[in-house]
Chains A and B, each alone.
Chain A
């Protein structure tokens, strides 16, 4: 078997290969379910009914789409610059921490507090990602550093809610006091879809697409990502691009964290309750969108179904929530393994 490079792979070929990869992933997952003693038909049926079958389910999908859209759009940008940020989980948590700190301890008048909460979220997530970008300058692989930063972020959140920020009106539980009501985001009736953050996500996805395809910075970013050698020759600093990309991608993950605590929980609580693995799932959102932030408008709801479906499977079929990791991992693997078929056609036999 040989791969023969295609000169100009068509969009149709790309779409077809992506769909085939998704189908293969669902088949492989079905095999895993069978091994674990569950009928795949029942698993998929339960997931679909519980997520797309009624308005409650759709609301749950919507709620999970919000952070996935924000983070995914940022990651799409980062991947184009070959900055493999796997630490959106930690950046989201730091965004939530900064947002909570602002909501709880910064005395601002009502109308100013909410914007400040989101700005703080952006700064928190951005700074956390900047650590990885700075470490990259001394040759520390950003996949490893952002992953380590995830674990550190979880410890930081636990420390804060169990220690200095522990709420006065809580007994036994660990979380902070409730935020002031002026930081609450409105939600769509009968759901936890905090629509201002959703709108923010749509704006971010479209805005980043514009930045990527129309701005000078976007051009520099694409050159650095596609041909580092040429970028150096043209005098484009890949280090500076990486710093800016880290700030943006970490910052929007921080916005997602601010949205979760201000829109749903109204307090800082345990890391596992703030995020259901949004950071990792968003990697797939960005990869499925093939590095186009705007396409995350389609791929984020798709993965939103998987996250919401994981919750349904936990409740209805008593499956561990880890099932979401299986979905995520298999989809990701099939996606990247299928990429060769987009740019090449297969020729059987020897050269």
Chain B
């Protein structure tokens, strides 16, 4: 019995890791007032950048690969920042464009890496008898650190003020535009890191569409967890467990497999609707989704 529970937990943690990392990234930029629906694309370029560096030679530096994924995510997110913050474009549509560009460019540039071996994958850690990826440990620590930073430090408060009331922050001398750009790039870097986990640790390979909708679930997760990093751990575990069930029940159940492949997406709808009915959508940063222009309200 214990074994089943522990196996479920370990597997749920594994699938939950990219969800958690991407969700933390989205929380970061949304707390500063910027929605970025492009997470799916950011994860795809992150996965490719990491794999491209790691697969370039047998003794390629894995730190470099991880850094490349974060850099690629941040660079793509910068497009979103320029479009929505400098040029005041619609954040939702820009994010959608970003998702298309990211998945498209990763598919196009990644074609030559398809089917290639990964020489040195990221080694798993053994913690108290559990085998977990270092990415998982990092994601959990990061959630704690982000909760502390947003809740208890001056700079965290400044970031939140930019998302809640940019006009007031501006009056107090906060550079709203700069903070938002940095938050969007930070969010992109974390989404890229989520991609690196997929290509360096979880799958240890590159394939087109390997993000398979995880990015979209991460975006929805942000609303479900009410923009709180610690709750994101529970949310990611929950969806990770769902994927585990899908994997376990497939094949040995009378339910058709398509029901399982649709299940995460159906569940996201249910969860979003529940959050909506409970009024949780009201927890959103007050200025979320709106461009800030000095002197306009």
Contacts and interface: CB of A to CB of B under 8 A. Distances in A.
Interface stretch (B14-22, B64-72, B87-95, B189-197): B87-95
Interface stretch (A148-156, A220-228, A241-249): A148-156
B101 interface: yes
A32 B105 contact: yes
Given A138-B273, A336-B93, A155 B100 contact: no
A264 B77 CA distance: 40
A158 B93 contact: no
Interface stretch (B106-114, B156-164, B178-186, B237-245): B106-114
Contact of B96 (A143, A149, A337): A143
A163 interface: yes
B108 A339 contact: no
B266 interface: yes
Contact of B269 (A148, A332, A336): A148
A135 B276 contact: yes
Contact of A139 (B89, B220, B276): B276
Q: Which of A3, A35, A141, A148: most chain B Cβ within 10 A?
A: A148
B210 interface: no
Contacts of A32: 105, 108-109
Given A138-B273, A148-B220, A325-B107, A340 B89 contact: yes
B1 interface: no
Contact of B208 (A35, A152, A322, A329): A322
Is chain B's binding surface mostly helix, strand, loop or mixed? helix
A336 B281 contact: no
Nearest to B216: A147
Nearest to B284: A139
Interface stretch (B118-126, B145-153, B168-176, B254-262): B254-262
Contact of B108 (A139, A163, A319, A333): A319
A340 B208 CA distance: 35
Contacts of B144: none
Nearest to A86: B96
Q: Give the size range of A's interface with the partner.
A: 35 or more
Nearest to A135: B273
A325 B106 CA distance: 10
Contact of B256 (A159, A330, A338): A159
Nearest to B90: A336
B42 to A, nearest CB: 12
Contacts of B220: 144, 148
B216 A333 contact: no
A152 B88 contact: no
Contacts of B89: 333, 336-337, 339-340
B141 interface: no
B100 A329 contact: yes
B99 interface: yes
B93 A329 contact: no
Given A144-B219, A332-B100, A151 B258 contact: no
B100 to A, nearest CB: 3
Given A139-B281, A147-B216, A148-B269, A329 B258 contact: no
A161 B157 CA distance: 53
A330 B97 CA distance: 7
B28 interface: no
A145 interface: yes
A320 interface: yes
Contacts of A262: none
A148 B268 contact: yes
B202 interface: no
Nearest to A331: B97
Interface string A302-340: 000000000000000001101111111110110011111
A127 to B, nearest CB: 15
Contacts of A328: 97, 100, 104
Interface in A52-93: 84, 86
A340 B86 CA distance: 10
B277 interface: yes
Contacts of B103: 322, 325
Contacts of B213: 151
Given A140-B269, A287-B93, A332-B93, A280 B216 contact: no
B272 interface: yes
A340 B98 CA distance: 19
A135 B277 CA distance: 10
A156 B93 contact: no
Contacts of A338: 87
A151 B265 contact: yes
A320 B108 contact: yes
Contact of B216 (A36, A148, A162, A339): A148
Nearest to B266: A152
A322 B269 contact: no
A283 interface: yes
A159 B258 contact: yes
B79 interface: yes
Q: Top 9 closest A-B pairs, CB basis?
A: A325-B104, A329-B100, A322-B107, A329-B101, A138-B276, A155-B262, A159-B258, A326-B104, A139-B276
29 contacts: A32-B109, A84-B93, A139-B281, A140-B269, A140-B273, A140-B276, A144-B219, A144-B220, A148-B266, A151-B213, A151-B216, A152-B262, A152-B265, A152-B266, A155-B258, A155-B261, A156-B262, A287-B93, A320-B111, A324-B104, A325-B100, A326-B104, A328-B100, A329-B97, A330-B97, A333-B79, A336-B93, A337-B82, A339-B87
Interface of B: 37, 41, 79, 82-83, 87-90, 92-94, 96-109, 111, 208, 213, 216, 219-220, 223, 256, 258-259, 261-262, 265-266, 268-269, 272-273, 275-277, 279, 281-282
Given A143-B92, A340-B87, 9 more contacts: A139-B279, A144-B216, A144-B220, A144-B272, A159-B256, A163-B256, A320-B107, A322-B108, A332-B97
